[in-house]
Structure 1
């Protein structure tokens, strides 16, 4: 299965090759229009997404499957996710305290691919501001459930790390993966 992962860069369509993908995954901070155009360009038959901290409160259109606290299976591979970032300002959509994320994920089932907007704490964090650091609950989830992959946006990095046996991939723009 070929997966196209996109995140955080509204100009992603300018750099996106016309390569085919079975599934498009958005890690957030992209408009529905950009997501749908990217899926059309690569011919994705499934679109799986989480919202980012800059996204609206509106629901996704019917062709986009929201992974927030849900599990979706595609060709025997399970995907699940969590939207948003930590509450770094008093108002906004998809902002959470660390304790809220811990509580939300405490019984979340094991998945093969976990999709978040934010990263796990201490993984791909940006030290240049107080906005781009990860959720501790993601670290706990990885340790307890061992997903094969954790995909995230938010930090504006293209980076790959292995934490507790899980490959954590940060995407800014786009990246193709083969599962």
Structure 2
């Protein structure tokens, strides 16, 4: 199964009339943040494939719409805030938001979790301390344990915006990675951690790193992952 991951930049190879010729065999698309929703919409409408995304620390025009829409669903159900839910649907552009969630793509036998945002550096939107990010992970634990019991593994892919600390990250406060991502990989052993946030300016920049049982990939611009499907 081929998975197309996009992040941080509207790649001219993707944002092109030839997208279907280049990526027509892709079955799933993932968005690792810092991209406009309209770009996701173009990809979905062009390839007619499901797209799952998280937000980064930029391009947050629609961020509050998704957060408000989620709260309306969780608190009172679909009938309590129709305006919010309509906005959520209207602004989704055919994509599915998986921030702070663990989802199973049943038809692809794929277990994915999404953790958006970056390490806090100026108290901006969708920025988190290490403690806050760890709390987000702990809320996922019941579903991860269910996955382990039901499917024999916790997770296949952890989709993040920021990088793990010491893997592909930079030393400036904005681009420093999360230590808690290392803990997550140690504990729950996803096959892949796919992130954005770290721009690649040279062909010599490292894109793929093996960390114990997890392959960490910087998906800046776009990355085409040839994924071997699981049995359950």
| Both proteins in one fold, TM over 0.5 | yes
Residue aligning to 1:82: 115
| Separation of aligned partners in 2, 1:63 and 1:48 | 9
Residue aligning to 2:225: 177
| Residue of 96, 102, 113 corresponding to 2:128 | 96
Q: Secondary structure at the match of 1:55?
A: coil
Question: Pairwise mapping of residues 47-66 of structure 1 onto structure 2 (< 5 A)?
Answer: 47-56=51-60, 57=63, 58-59=65-66, 61=92, 63-66=94-97
Shift of residue 107, structure 1, vs aligned partner:
4.7
Residue aligning to 1:15: 13
Report if aligned partners of 1:148, 1:166 keep a CA contact under 8 Å in 2.
yes
Normalising by structure 1, report the TM-score: 0.90
Report if aligned partners of 1:22, 1:43 keep a CA contact under 8 Å in 2.
no
Structure 1 segments unaligned to the other structure (5+ residues): none
Which range is displaced more, 158-167 or 26-35?
Answer: 158-167
Residue aligning to 2:5: 5
Normalising by structure 2, report the TM-score: 0.71
Shift of residue 67, structure 1, vs aligned partner:
1.5
Task: Give the structure with the larger strand fraction.
Answer: 1
In the alignment of these two chains, the number of paired residues is 174
1:122 aligns to 2:120 (yes or no): no
Moved over 3 A (4+): none
CA displacement, residues 138-170 of structure 1 (integer Å, 9 cap, x when unaligned): 110000000000000001136000112100000
Report if aligned partners of 1:156, 1:171 keep a CA contact under 8 Å in 2.
no
Which range is displaced more, 52-61 or 26-35?
Answer: 52-61
| Separation of aligned partners in 2, 1:66 and 1:121 | 25
| Separation of aligned partners in 1, 2:33 and 2:189 | 23
Task: Give the structure with the larger helix fraction.
Answer: 2
Max radius of gyration: which structure? 2
CA displacement, residues 35-83 of structure 1 (integer Å, 9 cap, x when unaligned): 1112333332x11101000132232517221121212222111111101
Question: Pairwise mapping of residues 26-37 of structure 1 onto structure 2 (< 5 A)?
Answer: 26-37=31-42
| Separation of aligned partners in 1, 2:122 and 2:98 | 24
